[in-house]
Structure 1
């Protein structure tokens, strides 16, 4: 079982990273694709990934069910700026931890990541509405800065309504403007 989990998890991570890289190239941000999720190869993330591997969803979900929290996820979100969970800080006025606005480059990478994850886990059942549906299911309980959430939802809605080519064209135009 451990050997199957090792190779299953490794295959899933590599397939996901490959899809993200392809999407990032299409979006005009190839460096983000090359750097994407390298922390998944660290022992802190890879070992629990193997231990809790299931193949049809993130091992972090199973780790949470078993242990009450995912140390792998906490490590991952703290090192990868394409996750909105990375973008929280202590607000001096409210004295609370609150979401802060993400730079567009990381929102674009987050879009690529979400589409790739939907493709990786849904395999041949994937369709362009799935990433938006996944995003909307958790929307009421998500802690994400409002304009960041609006931009991601806009991109995911464009994917559903107009397809990948149109979204990647849109992102490339915005990346070129920001340079």
Structure 2
């Protein structure tokens, strides 16, 4: 079982990273694709990934069910700027953690990440509406900066309505404008 989980998790991570790289190249941000999720190979993330591997969803979800929290996820979100959870800071006025606006480059990588994850976990059942549906299911509970959420939802909606080619073309134009 351990060997099966080890190679299953390794394959899933590699397939995911490869798919994100493809998407990031199409989006005009190849460096983000090469650097994407390298922390998943750290012992803090990889060992729980093997232990809680199921192949149909993130091992972090299972780790939360078993342990009450995911140490791997806390490590991951604190090191990867393409996760909106990274973008929180202490607000000295309200004296609480508050979401902070993400730079567009990381929103674009987050889009690539979400589409890739949907493809990897849904396999041949995948369709372009799945990343948006996943995003919308958690929308009422999500703590994300408003502009960041709007931009991501816009991209996911464009993917559903106009497809990958048009969405990546739009992102490439935005990337060029920001340089």
> TM class by shorter-chain length?
over 0.9
Structure 1: which 5+ runs fail to align?
none
Could you tell me how far 1:148 is from its partner in structure 2?
0.1
Matched with 2:143 is 143
Count of matched residue pairs: 179
- 1:156 equivalent in alignment to 2:159: no
| Partner Cα separation in structure 2 for residue 2 and residue 98 of structure 1 | 40
Q: How does 1:51-130 map to 2 (within 5 A)?
A: 51-130=51-130
| Partner Cα separation in structure 2 for residue 72 and residue 80 of structure 1 | 12
Matched with 2:171 is 171
Q: CA RMSD in A?
A: 0.2
Q: How does 1:5-44 map to 2 (within 5 A)?
A: 5-44=5-44
Could you tell me how far 1:22 is from its partner in structure 2?
0.1
| Partner Cα separation in structure 1 for residue 74 and residue 92 of structure 2 | 23
Structure 2: which 5+ runs fail to align?
none
Structure 1 residues 33-75: Cα deviation after superposition (integer angstroms, max 9, x where no partner):
0000000000000000000000000000000000000000000
Q: Which runs of 4+ in 1 moved over 3 A?
A: none
Structure 1 residues 97-130: Cα deviation after superposition (integer angstroms, max 9, x where no partner):
0000000000000000000000000000000000
**Helix, strand or coil at the partner of 1:93:** coil
